[in-house]
């Protein structure tokens, strides 16, 4: 299991990225990590103590794409950037997976440029795991595809369900469509046409129809499909509301307690940790012929370690082969815009 890790991507790179790789090597004896980025900077971050140096390789890339660079322009202007080099290693089959906490836009654009998608997939989508009242659900796309067609959202449903089944261990995942109301006919053309596509497909029995924003955390279904604009906003709104309320709870409920402040603070910290994005180990870009995990820009070593774990698990389970089989078994209705 060989994974390319973008050492330069993320708000605090390369320190925590390299540290995450070292932890992951200790966890997984069959893992090999290729750290891609500035060799001098990476080597300065390597631990001085004992670690499996033979399973860690450094692939020098002289350029770095910044978070505020325009993704497509930066990929062109900086040909030797660490993200492109990761994708190149995947394209050459030198690694099975790529992992980055760098610019999501550049990661996606780099993947799209390769045009190495799974058969039948027209546009890959980013899947993210969300906590709910009954466990976890999958939301996709959260930012790869801001102009999807109904067929893209349909494929996101298929891929998200496979992810939910094999990674989240939900035996028969249900699928819902993010919309502005539950009734059929609600929303814009994309929503209406996607609703019809699901309802006229072999996935009909698993399709719960439209879901609203407040249904995510109620766990109205296991997989929620939406366009990359809405999905990205939803993901960040959830993060924002969570942060906001945790601050309020700390200040207004926990701080004034006369006797149990310490106990309440521990419970609050437990809640914050449990819903920390780091736990989920990044978001896979589904539909790529290969494995790609996109991590939060603020990723620390724990998030990177988990992302490497998820990438390896994803490969071992052969999720892409399962996606190909499932898409192959579903006839595409004629006349559908791809």
- Counting residues that bind a second copy (by CB under 8 A) gives 62
Residues 327-331: contacts with CB under 8 Å, at least 24 apart? 327/118, 327/119, 327/120, 327/121, 327/155, 327/158, 328/119, 328/120, 329/202, 330/158, 330/201, 330/202, 330/203, 331/202
Q: Which stretch binds a second copy (CB under 8 A): 49-57, 161-169, 246-254, 320-328?
A: 246-254
Cβ of residue 103: shortest distance to a second copy, in angstroms? 9
Rounded Cα–Cα distance for residues 87 and 316 (Å): 20
Least distance to a second copy from the beta carbon of 332, Å? 26
Smallest distance, a second copy to C-beta of residue 220, A:
10
Say if residue 300 is exposed, middle or buried (CB neighbours under 10 Å; 0-12, 13-18, 19+): buried
Helices (H), 32-149: 39-45, 71-77, 82-91, 104-114
Interface map 248-287 toward a second copy (x if CB under 8 A): xx--xxx-xxxxx--xx--xx-xx----------------
Of 96 and 227, CB closest to a second copy = 227
Residues 87-146, interacting with a second copy (CB under 8 A): 105, 131-133, 143, 146
**Cβ partners under 8 Å of residue 123, min gap 6:** 112, 117, 144, 145, 148, 152, 155, 287
- Among residues 117 and 229, whose Cβ is nearest to a second copy? 229
Nearer to a second copy, 261 or 325 (CB): 261
One-character DSSP codes across 242-298 = HHHHHHHIIIIIITT-SS-HHHHHHHHHHHHHHT-GGGGT-EEEETBSSEEEE--TT
Q: Which is nearer to a second copy, 131 or 287 (CB)?
A: 131
- Which residues in the chain belong to E strands, given as ranges? 2-6, 32-37, 56-60, 97-100, 125-132, 135-140, 175-178, 207-211, 223-225, 283-286, 291-294
Q: Please state at what angle helix 301-317 crosses helix 15-27, rounded to 10 degrees.
A: 50
Establish if 196 lies at the interface with a second copy (CB under 8 A). Answer: no
Q: Is 10 in the site for a second copy (CB under 8 A)?
A: no
Contact between 298 and a second copy per CB under 8 A: no
Name the residue nearer to a second copy (CB basis): 26 or 246: 246
Q: Does residue 76 touch a second copy according to CB under 8 A?
A: no
Task: State the DSSP H helix or E strand holding residue 235, giving kind and residue range, or none if neither.
Answer: helix 228-248
Stretch of 35-43, 201-209, 232-240, 279-287 lying at the interface with a second copy (CB under 8 A): 232-240
Q: Which is nearer to a second copy, 32 or 132 (CB)?
A: 132
Q: Between 44 and 241, whose beta carbon lies closer to a second copy?
A: 241
Q: Which of 11, 43, 239, 273 binds a second copy (CB under 8 A)?
A: 239
Q: Please, what is the minimum distance in Å from the beta carbon of residue 12 to a second copy?
A: 18
Residues near a second copy (CB under 8 A) are 68, 70, 105, 131-133, 143, 146-147, 178, 180-183, 185-188, 191, 212-218, 226, 228-230, 232-249, 252-254, 256-260, 263-264, 267-268, 270-271
């Amino acid at each position: 299991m060989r994974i390319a890790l973008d050492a330069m991507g993320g708000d605090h790179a390369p320190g925590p990225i390299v540290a995450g790789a070292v932890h992951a090597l200790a966890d997984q004896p069959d893992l090999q990590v290729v750290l891609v980025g500035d060799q001098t900077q990476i080597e300065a971050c390597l631990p001085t103590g004992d670690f499996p140096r033979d399973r860690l390789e450094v692939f020098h890339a002289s350029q770095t794409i910044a978070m505020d660079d325009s993704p497509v322009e930066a990929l062109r202007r900086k040909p030797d950037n660490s993200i492109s080099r990761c994708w190149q290693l995947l394209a050459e089959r030198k690694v099975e997976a790529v992992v980055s906490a760098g610019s999501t836009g550049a990661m996606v654009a780099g993947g799209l440029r390769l045009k190495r998608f799974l058969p039948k997939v027209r546009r890959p989508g980013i899947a993210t795991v969300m906590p709910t009242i009954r466990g976890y659900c999958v939301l996709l796309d959260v930012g790869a595809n801001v102009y999807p067609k109904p067929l893209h959202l349909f494929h996101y449903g298929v891929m998200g369900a496979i992810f939910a089944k094999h990674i989240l261990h939900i035996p028969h995942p249900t699928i819902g469509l993010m919309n502005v109301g539950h009734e059929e006919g609600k929303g814009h053309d994309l929503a209406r046409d996607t609703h019809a596509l699901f309802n006229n497909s072999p996935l009909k029995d698993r399709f719960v129809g439209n879901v609203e924003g407040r249904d995510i955390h109620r766990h109205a279904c296991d997989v929620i499909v939406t366009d990359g604009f809405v999905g990205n906003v939803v993901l960040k709104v959830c993060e924002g509301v969570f942060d906001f309320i945790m601050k309020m709870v700390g200040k207004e409920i926990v701080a004034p307690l006369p006797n149990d402040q310490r106990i309440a603070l521990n419970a609050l910290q437990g809640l914050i940790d449990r819903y920390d994005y780091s736990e989920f180990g990044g978001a896979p870009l589904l539909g790529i012929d290969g494995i790609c995990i996109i991590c939060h820009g603020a990723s620390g070593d724990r998030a990177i370690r988990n992302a490497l774990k998820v990438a390896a698990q994803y490969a071992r389970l052969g999720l892409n082969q399962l996606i190909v089989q499932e898409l192959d078994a579903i006839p595409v209705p004629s006349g559908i815009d791809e």
